[in-house]
């Protein structure tokens, strides 16, 4: 499915006078490698996760690539003169997206990555992600009930702190709202305080905290379009 209603938008970051500018546009299939790279470079509580993974695509398999592959109309990227350096991906209906993943995304990865063996406490980062491929973490019902959509935003350090995140989020929310989405949620690591500050400053309220096996905890926040700022 494609939707050409939202054309490219140029954004001049407000904190970077003299900056050459950053283009916000819909993602295309050709952006897939950039999404994998950004996912890895920001995947350790917002910082670079490259040292943690043997397979550099493990994080992107879960948090970036399926969105671009299954729902490209819900993916935007931020591009500067050096290339794509940020994205927002998501879905207007998390439960429907989980079903699509189960049907069209996880099966090929499950064949490629066998389930991890041994004691979960001994698993490394690759094995923990591999487990997620076999046993995907579904969003809790109490989160999805009130906030059916969800998003992920990831910017390389060179775009961070320049209000690109809010610009991407506003574009995504406007588009999603126009297409019938009423509320969205995000999940952030309990050990990524900068991200949590970002979300709460953008009208997201904490809904739930969960503690997954081997993780330091996840904070789920939601925002209804009724309280868009």
Ligand X SMILES: CC(C)(COP(=O)(O)OP(=O)(O)OC[C@H]1O[C@@H](n2cnc3c(N)ncnc32)[C@H](O)[C@@H]1OP(=O)(O)O)[C@@H](O)C(=O)NCCC(=O)NCCS
| Positions that interact with ligand X (CB under 6 A) | 42, 46, 153-155, 157, 160-166, 186, 188, 192, 194-195, 198, 201
Contacts of 176 by beta carbon, 8 Å cutoff, 6+ apart: 74, 90, 92, 149, 184
Q: Can you say how many angstroms the Cα of residue 116 is from the centroid of all Cα atoms in its chain?
A: 24
Closest distance of CB 38 from ligand X, Å: 8
Q: C-beta of 217: minimal distance to ligand X in Å?
A: 13
Task: Output 146 or 166, the one with its CB closest to ligand X.
Answer: 166
Please, what sign has the CA dihedral across residues 169, 174, 179, 184?
Answer: positive
Give the residue from 161, 160, 168, 166 showing the smallest Cα distance to 200: 166
Q: What is the dihedral of CA 84, 67, 8, 43, to 10 degrees?
A: -30
Contact 221, 185 (CB under 8 A): yes
Question: With left for phi above 0 and alpha for psi between -120 and 50, is residue 119 left, alpha or beta?
Answer: beta
Residue 144, phi then psi, degrees to nearest 5: -65, -35
Of 100 and 163, which CB lies nearer to ligand X in the complex structure?
A: 163
Closest approach, Cβ 73 to ligand X, in A, equals 21
Report in angstroms how near the CB of residue 222 gets to ligand X at its nearest: 13
Closest CB to ligand X: residue number: 165
Of 99 and 201, nearer to ligand X (C-beta) is 201
HSE-CB of 227 using CA atoms within 13 angstroms: 12
The residue (of 26 and 162) whose beta carbon lies closer to ligand X is: 162
- Smaller CB separation from ligand X, 160 or 177: 160
Task: For Cα atoms 37, 91, 116, give the angle at the middle one, nearest 5 degrees.
Answer: 55
Provide, rounded to whole angstroms, the least separation between the CB of residue 26 and ligand X: 18
Query: For residues 116 and 188, which CB has a smaller minimum distance to ligand X in the complex?
Result: 188
CB of 117 to ligand X, least distance (A): 30
């Amino acid at each position: 499915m494609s939707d050409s209603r939202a054309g490219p938008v140029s954004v001049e970051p407000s904190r970077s006078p003299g900056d050459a500018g950053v283009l916000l546009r819909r993602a295309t299939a050709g952006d897939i490698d950039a999404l994998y790279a950004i996912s890895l470079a920001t995947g350790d509580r917002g910082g670079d996760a490259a040292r943690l993974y043997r397979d550099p695509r493990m994080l992107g398999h879960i948090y970036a690539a399926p969105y671009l592959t299954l729902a490209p109309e819900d993916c935007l990227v931020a591009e500067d003169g050096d290339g794509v350096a940020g994205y927002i991906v998501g879905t207007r209906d998390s439960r429907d997206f989980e079903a699509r993943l189960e049907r069209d995304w996880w099966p090929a990865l499950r064949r490629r990555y066998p389930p991890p063996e041994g004691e979960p406490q001994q698993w490394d980062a690759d094995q923990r992600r591999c487990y997620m491929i076999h046993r995907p973490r579904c969003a809790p019902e109490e989160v999805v009930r009130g906030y059916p959509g969800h998003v992920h935003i990831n910017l390389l350090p060179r775009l961070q702190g320049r209000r690109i995140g809010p610009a991407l989020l506003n574009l995504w929310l406007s588009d999603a709202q126009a297409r019938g989405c009423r509320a969205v949620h995000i999940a952030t690591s309990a050990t990524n305080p900068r991200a949590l500050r970002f979300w709460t400053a953008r009208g997201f309220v904490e809904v739930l905290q969960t503690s997954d096996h081997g993780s330091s905890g996840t904070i789920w926040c939601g925002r209804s379009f009724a309280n868009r700022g």
